[in-house]
Structure 1
Amino acid sequence: MTSVPLTKYGAELLREELHQLKTKERRIVIDAIAEARSHGDLSENAEYDAAKERQAFVEGRIAELEGKLSTAQIIDPATLDAEGRVVFASTVDLEDLENGQKVSYQIVGVDEADLKLSKVSVTSPIARALIGKYAGDVVEVQAPSGPREYEILEVRYV
């Protein structure tokens, strides 16, 4: 099986979601199914159909999360010995060489990626361009709008 890279924080978020699904959502769905069954004929019962669909979604998500967590390779950036190199879970400060705009991104697992929080997936074009580079290096990223160049200002492990 292929391991799934996750930050320590990302793994904790998945565990919390799994706990929520198992302890609360399952109970809500079971109660909804029981309520719908009490209304009689199930063949034309929209509430029953909706509750069964929700049950399928919840059980599917539980299986997905358990699978991801069982194959997870949890990486704590604080314990990395990367000596200034961009690696998974590191935070990278960049400067766009075209317009001088400065941005910071943390390279995270696919499930953790959230551009609004400046977290980019390890499989994204910018992360692939940055991995293995050092502060001071200039990287070219193949963005949807065309190639862009960034200078790596700093690499942090938080």
Structure 2
Amino acid sequence: MKNTIATIAAVITLLFTANTIQANSVKTEKTTNEIAESTQLQAVYDAYFTVKDALIKSDAKLTSAKAKDLLTAITAVKMDKLKSNEHTVWMKVVKKLSADAKSISATTDLKKQRETFKSLSKSTYDLIKVSSPDQPVYKQYCPMADADWLSKEKAVKNPYYGSSMLTCGNVVETIK
């Protein structure tokens, strides 16, 4: 009798443990999918910011290298993992994003890189506007270059002129 009760108790404990493990597994799977969705475009945004930072330093070779990283991030995006609204915009901008990243990576002419960065920034803005960035993103504008760019910092650091006019510009929008 004692063995039967002990066996029943062991089976109940085993079933409870199995159900708990299964429930945690489902939660982990959902969390992993949510992370995959958010990191799909976050990698593109992060790579964009490194291109911007290289332009701020007026380092054409670094800008070229970071644009190659951006191109890698763009090609790694799995469209089926994007949310519907992100997918729609992605389909509109992916060719231009890729072409701009390729163009910036193919040259060490800082003037050409900065000119192409204008278009790259517009496509990135269109995309980030429909997604939910991990942190606020600031759309900034330089009247001298008549161009926008995106930044994770509110303080203006101008990628179009680097140190010659580092703080030229202002925040025109905060994207959350």
Whichever structure has more strand as a proportion of its residues is 1
When normalised by structure 1's length, the TM-score is 0.27
Compute the TM-score of the two structures, normalised by the length of structure 2.
Answer: 0.25
The structure carrying a bigger helix percent of its residues is 2
